[in-house]
Amino acid sequence: MLDEALIAPQWLLTRRRRDPYPYFSWLRTHAPLRRESTRAGTVWLVSRYDDVRTLITDPRLSKQPERVPGYVAGPLGLNQHLVHADPPEHTRLRSLVNAAFLPRRIAGLEPFITQTASRLIDRIDLDAGADLIADFAIPLTFTLICRILGVPEHLNTPEARALLAATVTPTEVSAERDQRLHAYLTELIDHKRRSKAGDDDLLAALVGVDGGLSEEELVSTAYLLLLVGHDTTVGLIGNGMLALIRHPDQLHRLRTEEALMPSAIDELMRYDSPVRDATFRVAREPIELHGCVIQPGEIVSLLIGSANRDGRKFPEPDRLDLGRTPNDHLAFGRGPHFCIGAALVRMEGAIAFRMLLERLGDVRLALRASQLPWRPSRVMRSLEQLPVVRG
DSSP assignments along 107-142, one per residue:
HTTHHHHHHHHHHHHHT--TTT-EETIIIIIHHHHH
Residue 173 has a CB neighbour count (10 Å cut-off) of 7
* pLDDT on residue 4: 55
CA distances to 100, 227, 237, 238 from 149, in Å? 12, 12, 22, 24
Domain-embedded: residue 3:
no
Domain-embedded: residue 4:
no
Domain-embedded: residue 367:
yes
State the CATH number of the domain containing residue 223.
Answer: 1.10.630.10
Strands 61-62 and 130-131: unpaired
Task: Single out the residue of 371, 368, 369, 364 nearest to residue 389, CA to CA.
Answer: 364
Domain-embedded: residue 351:
yes
Query: Structural domain tally of the chain?
Result: 1
* pLDDT on residue 1: 43
Q: What φ, ψ does residue 61 adopt, rounded to 5°?
A: -100, 130
Q: Which domain holds residue 258?
A: 10-390
> What residues contact residue 368 under an 8 Å CB cut-off, 6+ apart?
none
DSSP assignments along 140-201, one per residue:
HHHHHHHHHHT--GGG--HHHHHHHHHHHS-SS--HHHHHHHHHHHHHHHHHHHH--S---S
Domain-embedded: residue 325:
yes
> What residues contact residue 310 under an 8 Å CB cut-off, 6+ apart?
28, 47, 48, 49, 50, 317
The pTM for the full model equals 0.92
Q: Residue 247: is it exposed, middle or buried by C-beta count within 10 angstroms (0-12/13-18/19+)? A: middle
Q: Is the dihedral of CA 266, 271, 273, 274 positive or negative?
A: negative
Question: Which regions of the chain are under pLDDT 70?
Answer: 1-5, 72-77, 171-172, 196-199
Q: What φ, ψ does residue 145 adopt, rounded to 5°?
A: -60, -45
Instruction: Determine if the peptide bond prior to 326 is cis (ω within 30°).
Output: yes
What type of residue is 233?
T
> What residues contact residue 371 under an 8 Å CB cut-off, 6+ apart?
none
State the Cα–Cα distance between residues 289 and 311, nearest whole angstrom. 20
∠ Cα 373 378 382 (to 5°) = 35
